[in-house]
């Protein structure tokens, strides 16, 4: 039986646990350009199932059409994340996907991309935890309803699809492969790369105490 959120309790245990895992997931994705493909895959196959589990435990919350959900992930941020992961995986970024709605109209498997799937998941999670960190109860309830609805209809399926691809890649890779060959480091020497600038903007918009809490 699905849990219903009562009394607008945005500090429900299951919500807090989802936010906690979401913060870890987003931090991991934002640092993708500082790690290797093998290390990234190793972490991804562990954190994605946990994120899925915590999403299934989120309480239901009624949506209000008159209260729009604010979005923090811009097209530039999305493309930065997607391209970083795409460069990391290279020729391994694409995979054949059969669990898509469009598949019923196609006689051949559809090509999907690890980088795009993960970026889609990141976008919804980052938007939600950014709103949650502001502490606005009404906005959080609406963001929760939006995030869970998208989990059911969109990024939940993306998650299990990409997990299958990552599982196959991780356990079929050559044990003798030089992990360092896949390291892609695009970190700016002046310590002000694109995501650092965006995080500074988010920090300025958030309450300082809330920012410190989510970035301890």
Q: What local confidence, expressed as pLDDT, does residue 9 receive?
A: 82
Put residue 90 in one of left, alpha, beta given phi > 0 → left and psi -120 to 50 → alpha. left
Show Cβ contacts of residue 98 under 8 Å, excluding neighbours closer than 6 positions. Answer: 109, 110
Whole-Å CA distances, 163 to 3, 35, 51 = 26, 19, 12
Q: What local confidence, expressed as pLDDT, does residue 100 receive?
A: 57
What residue ranges in the chain does DSSP mark as E strands? Answer: 94-97, 110-113
Per-position pLDDT tens, the chain of length 216: 455 554 468 899 999 999 999 999 999 999 999 999 999 999 999 999 999 999 999 998 887 777 788 999 999 999 999 999 999 999 999 998 876 555 556 667 789 999 999 999 999 999 999 999 999 999 999 999 999 999 999 999 999 999 999 999 999 976 445 444 444 444 443 334 556 666 665 556 555 455 455 555
Q: What local confidence, expressed as pLDDT, does residue 177 receive?
A: 52
Whole-Å CA distances, 18 to 52, 148, 187 = 9, 11, 29
Q: What local confidence, expressed as pLDDT, does residue 118 receive?
A: 98
Q: What local confidence, expressed as pLDDT, does residue 199 receive?
A: 60
Dump pLDDT digits (tens) for 96-133: 887 655 555 666 778 999 999 999 999 999 999 999 99
What residue ranges in 43-136 does DSSP mark as E strands? Answer: 94-97, 110-113
Dump pLDDT digits (tens) for 74-99: 999 999 999 999 999 999 999 988 76
Q: What local confidence, expressed as pLDDT, does residue 137 receive?
A: 92
**Contact status, residue 186 vs residue 193, Cβ threshold 8 Å:** yes
Put residue 127 in one of left, alpha, beta given phi > 0 → left and psi -120 to 50 → alpha. alpha
* End-to-end CA separation in angstroms for the chain: 34
Of 166, 199, 198, which is closest to residue 39 (Cα–Cα)?
A: 166
Whole-Å CA distances, 77 to 34, 42, 171, 176, 195 = 16, 24, 30, 35, 7
CATH of 13-211, one of 3.40.30.10, 1.20.120.1550, 1.20.120.1200, 1.20.140.10: 1.20.120.1550
């Amino acid at each position: 039986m699905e849990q219903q959120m009562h009394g607008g309790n945005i500090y429900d245990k299951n919500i807090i646990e989802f936010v906690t895992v979401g913060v870890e997931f987003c931090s991991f994705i934002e640092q993708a350009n500082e790690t290797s493909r093998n290390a990234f895959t190793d972490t991804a196959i562990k954190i994605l199932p946990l994120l899925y589990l915590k999403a299934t435990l989120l309480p239901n919350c009624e949506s209000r059409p008159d209260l729009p959900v604010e979005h923090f992930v811009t097209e530039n941020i999305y493309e930065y994340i997607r391209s970083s992961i795409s460069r990391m995986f290279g020729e391994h970024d694409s995979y054949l996907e059969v669990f898509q709605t469009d598949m019923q109209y196609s006689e051949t498997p559809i090509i999907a991309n690890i980088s795009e799937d993960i970026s889609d998941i990141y976008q919804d999670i980052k938007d939600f935890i950014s709103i949650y960190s502001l502490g606005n109860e009404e906005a959080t309830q609406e963001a929760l309803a939006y995030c869970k609805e998208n989990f059911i209809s969109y990024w939940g399926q993306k998650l299990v699809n990409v997990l299958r691809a990552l599982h196959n890649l991780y356990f079929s890779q050559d044990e003798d492969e030089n992990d360092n060959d896949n390291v892609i480091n695009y970190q700016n020497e002046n310590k002000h790369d694109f995501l650092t600038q965006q995080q500074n903007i988010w920090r300025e918009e958030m309450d300082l105490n809330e920012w410190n809490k989510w970035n301890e």
